[in-house]
Amino acid sequence: MSLLEQIGGPADLKAVPADQIGDLAQEIRDFLVNAVSRTGGHLGPNLGVVELTIALHRVFDSPRDAIIFDTGHQSYVHKILTGRQDFSALRSRGGLSGYPSRAESPHDVVENSHASTSLSWAHGIAKGRAIAGHRRHTVAVIGDGALTGGMAWEALNNIAADKSLPLVLVVNDNERSYAPTIGGLAEHLSTLRTTQGYEQFLDWGKHTLRRAPVVGGAMERALHGVKKGIKDVVAPQGLFEDLGLKYIGPIDGHDSAALEAALRRAKAFGGPVLVHVLTQKGRGYEPARQDEADQFHAVGVINPETGLPFEIAGRSWTDEFSDAMVEIGAERRDVVGVTAAMLIPVGLGAFAKAYPDRIIDVGIAEQHAVTMASGMAFAGLHPVVAVYATFLNRAFDQLLMDAALHQAGVTIVLDRAGITGPDGASHHGMWDMSICGVIPGLRLNAPRDGQSVARALREAVDVADGPTVIRFPKGSVAAPIEAVRSIGPLDVVADHTDGAEADMLIVAVGSMVATAITVAGKLAAEGQKVMVVDPRWVVPVAPELVDLARGVGRIAVIEDNVAVGGVGEQVVAALRADGNPATTSVFAIPREFLHHATRGQVLDQIGLTPDAIAAALAR
């Protein structure tokens, strides 16, 4: 049996002799490369935390001691060491989640895969246990990228005031999130990496004073003076220690003995301790180390020998946005790009290369991104803030009170809108249109194909009196969908009426246009007179759509947003306000958290397929 095959849980791991930990780490890396290359997933982050995760489970007693992984995409090693070594269906329906999952194991605490939350979770758990009289350790593992999020610093501010809580905060510093971490914090951590240890200098000071003719209380006063002087000059960890946090590090995150020793010191301290650990993303896998973009942060199915994908998916929605941004950037110097630590995933990499003085990466700080963009709009620019749709949730207040209230000409571009699939509940972009629908003055466009992305972006950056939002899904774009004709801002994309009055009007939103066209074809084959319209700018509801719906007996809305507060509900409200008595059906995402599966499987599960919708409308 291999060492890994003998690990059924943390107790087995603790029994492994120290001199065999290196062999176990190598077995885990081999396992990860072979398994994740077959399923896709977050390979690079997990290769970087092998020794760290082993050390955590050897020093602490999970699940009695809670171990919380910020973001959670680096929890694969944790899963392996807690009895979950069947990765054959990772991120697939019925298989392991790509993030911690309470349904899988009592060792998993926080499922939310949004960054910068672990310190608040850890503080809450530790505080709650203390109030209940339970003395247990709580450990949070947060990356240097996630530490750029404002919520992490709100937590640090409060943790520092609870000096007796047994909290261990592990900063997993690999100088990256998706791409290299930037900003003042990144520069500070870089200084810590390259500065000789404060405690080494303090030991030198103690040794020097002991040899000097200093007696009595003078020794203590002199030592304090040496300590303060050294701290001010050579101890950049003062940023954390001045907050009241004990600092240990930096520690080589691939030295198992050093890691265990540091974590045991932290465990014994009795109060909040920050352990600064240096790791390498993609450690031990040469294709990841050679990738300068994101070091295999997330991969699809790849050849494990080369790291290359087996299939090229073709152009994506993100590619269409990327090209449009570069073209518009050449025409308008007032257009700038803003990203929240996701330059490459959201398609701003080419814009950054072409116009390096007009790209701003704010770190994992969506709230700051939107408010800063509002300030840039006031200064005469037109910022384009590109984030994943699921992360817009974090900047709702800023979009409402800073952008919309101040009528700021800011464009928000939402990648991965709708059902995304394998990453599960927290990554579906299914709330954005409901969020945006309550914001006065906001306009939202849902492109139906690649050409529509470029058209929407050009129209959006021309808007200077309020925020605009563009949202599109994950994956490859299909062939362009040409309009049959236009009615003002509306595109008629299918017309089976033969010039007569329509029996049914289908309002199709964004990526669901293709589905709606197929539905209309099925209904037309049964003799119904059906028209499909793409409103393009779906929030607010266009007056032309209200006019078009007059006299139509039945109306259906198809969208990939949660039904509550979505486009469908807004269309229904607009029709009722117009006195339209038409029967209206809304096909949307139910108000529930949807587990990981392929996009097609999830759409089938919730009834957003052509067959299911056509069957419902044919009744």
- Is 73 labeled as ligand-binding? yes
Percentages of the chain per state (helix, strand, coil), in multiples of 5: 45, 15, 40
8 A C-beta contact, residue 320 and residue 213: no
Block means of pLDDT (10 residues each) for the chain, length 619 residues?
91 95 93 86 86 96 94 89 91 87 92 85 93 92 87 90 91 68 54 52 50 53 50 49 81 93 93 91 73 57 61 81 97 96 92 97 92 96 96 95 96 94 84 96 97 97 98 91 95 93 94 96 94 97 96 94 95 95 94 89 93 92
The reply, when asked if residue 145 is annotated as ligand binding, is yes
What sign has the CA pseudo-torsion 118, 120, 123, 127? negative
For CA atoms 400, 404, 409, 412, give the dihedral sign. positive
Tokens of 583: 């029967």
For the domain spanning 4-195+236-290, the CATH number is 3.40.50.970
Do residues 170 and 130 make contact, with C-beta atoms less than 8 angstroms apart?
A: no
Q: Rounded to an integer, what distance in angstroms lies between the CA atom of residue 49 and that of residue 39?
A: 20
Nearest one of 60, 67, 106 to 83, comparing CA atoms: 106
What pLDDT is recorded for position 234? 40
Q: What is the pTM of this model?
A: 0.82
Among 151, 100, 98, residue whose Cα is nearest residue 121: 151
Catalytic residue among 58, 246, 283, 394: 394
Structure tokens at 264: 């045991």
> What is the pLDDT, as a whole number, of residue 204?
47
Based on the residue annotation, tell me whether 474 is a catalytic residue of this protein: no
Quote the pLDDT of residue 64. Answer: 95
Annotated active-site residue 394? The verdict is yes
Position 148 scores a pLDDT of: 84
- The residue annotated as part of the active site, out of 260, 320, 366, 569, is 366
DSSP at 391:
G
Looking at residue 308, its pLDDT comes to 62
Helical (H) or strand (E) element with 469: strand 468-471
Q: Is 406 labeled as ligand-binding?
A: no
Q: Are 121 and 128 in contact (CB under 8 A)?
A: no
462 labeled binding residue: no
556, 617 Cβ separation under 8 angstroms: yes
CA 522 – CA 389 distance, rounded (Å): 32
- CATH of region 491-618: 3.40.50.920
Q: Give the whole-angstrom CA distance, residue 387 versus residue 263.
A: 36
Where, residue-wise, is CATH 3.40.50.920 in the chain? Answer: 491-618
Query: Which pLDDT score is estimated for 79?
Result: 92
Question: 206 an active-site residue?
Answer: no
Using the structure block, give the residue that is written with the tokens 């999830």: 602
Q: What is the pLDDT of residue 351?
A: 98
pLDDT score for 229: 46
Instruction: Specify burial of residue 103 (Cβ count, 10 A radius: 0-12, 13-18, 19+).
Output: exposed
Task: Give me the residues paired with residue 470 across strands.
Answer: 413, 445
Please, where in the chain does CATH 3.40.50.970 lie?
4-195+236-290, 317-471
The answer to whether 126 is annotated as binding is no
Any idea which fold 317-471 has?
Answer: Rossmann fold (3.40.50)
The Cβ-side half-sphere exposure at 407, using a 13 Å CA radius, reads: 3
Residue 416 one-letter amino acid: R
- In sequence order, what DSSP letters do the residues of 123-162 get, joined into one string? HHHHHHHHHHT----EEEEEETTGGGSHHHHHHHHHHTT-
pLDDT score, position 619: 78
